[in-house]
Amino acid sequence: MTKYKTVFASLDNFEKGGVEVINDDPKNYVFSNMFEVASQSKPWEKVAIARNVEYVLEAIRAEGVSPWRVTPHDEFAIVVDGEVVIELLDPEDTLVDPSSSGSIAVQGEPKGVIMGKITARRGHLALLPAGKCYRMIADHPSVVILQTVMGPDTIERWSQICQKY
């Protein structure tokens, strides 16, 4: 029986594929690699690696302690490398307009009820619930993919991260 080896990648070990053009512009495919993006990012930068109208997937280099953030809608975090602790807090006051898009930073320490804590490693997917605050802690450089809506802190640097030729 074949012994299969599942290949995952990481910050320290990734190999990119690419677009092999026959009759097209490679830029149409907006091709990047999440680990390469995270390897070139500052901690907690929210760099879009996919965008579909207002929706984005962001690659986040998790390293140290993030600022507290609050999200107007559900977000979802997939840890794709390393280990990340996610702390969740139910704020005393409404800190974000529910009709807005994308999470925003919270100034200082938010007051409220501690909801719980998630310790997530590679392959784990966590809910970041609407209206609630969260922060992430990573003792070692890790990578998170965030499913969210484009917000004020989303960074678009397509020409730097994508295959052009």
Which residues of 45-101 form beta strands (DSSP E)? 46-52, 55-65, 69-70, 75-81, 83-91
Indicate which single residue of 12, 32, 82, 111 sits in contact with other proteins (rule: CB under 8 A): 32
Among 22, 93, 99, 165, binds other proteins (CB under 8 A): 22
10: Cβ contacts below 8 Å, ≥ 6 apart: 35, 81, 82, 122, 143
How many CB atoms are located within 10 Å of the residue 42 CB?
A: 9
Q: Which of the residues 84 through 123 are near other proteins (CB under 8 A)?
A: 86, 88, 90, 113-123
Interface residue with other proteins among 47, 132, 135, 154 (CB under 8 A) is 132
Phi, psi of 88 (to 5 degrees): -120, 140
Write the DSSP symbol of residue 103: -
Q: Which one of 68-76, 92-100, 103-111 is the stretch in contact with other proteins (CB under 8 A)?
A: 68-76
- Residue 88 CB, shortest distance to other proteins, in Å, is 6
Half-sphere exposure of residue 36: CA atoms within 13 angstroms, side-chain side: 15
Binding residues vs other proteins (CB under 8 A)? 1, 4-9, 14-24, 26-36, 49-53, 55, 57, 73-76, 78, 80, 86, 88, 90, 113-127, 129, 132, 145, 147-149, 156, 158-159, 162
